[in-house]
Amino acid sequence: MSKIKIKKGDRVKVIDQNIFGTVLVIHKDTNEIVIQDDASEYEGPDNELVYRKEELNLLVNKDQVEYWLGTDFSLDDAMEMIMELVNGEYDIDQMKVDILILQESGDE
């Protein structure tokens, strides 16, 4: 998922940890990303934590999924997609990339 850009305001999850947050600042010079911890369980000034991009997974939001589905997506289409996911014909990681890349291309 290296093609996906993380931006200020994005929701992320720390890989292999149960930490979710919102991106506050991206320091391009140090390759550090400051996030606001949603759970407020961890020490840090104002619950801010610092990670590198490779330590974070970008989360998909409802607006991005809605944009990806489009206005003509039917219940039959949704059921077919769920069947493909369950049967392993469509990889969940690829679905995430597809949703995020389409949203990025629409933002340009």
In this predicted structure, the answer to whether residue 31 has a pLDDT above a threshold of 50 is yes
In this predicted structure, the answer to whether residue 7 has a pLDDT above a threshold of 60 is yes
Q: Are 6 and 29 in contact (CB under 8 A)?
A: no
Residue 87's CB is within 10 A of a number of other CB atoms, namely 8
Q: Which of 35, 4, 2, 1 is nearest to 107 (CA)?
A: 4
In this predicted structure, the answer to whether residue 41 has a pLDDT above a threshold of 80 is no
Give residue 45's pLDDT.
60
pTM of the model: 0.70
Q: Which residue has the higher pLDDT, 70 or 51?
A: 51
Residues 6+ apart with CB under 8 A from 15: 54, 55, 56, 57
Instruction: Report CA dihedral (31, 14, 50, 64) to the nearest 10 degrees.
Output: 70
In this predicted structure, the answer to whether residue 40 has a pLDDT above a threshold of 50 is yes
Q: Are 100 and 4 in contact (CB under 8 A)?
A: yes
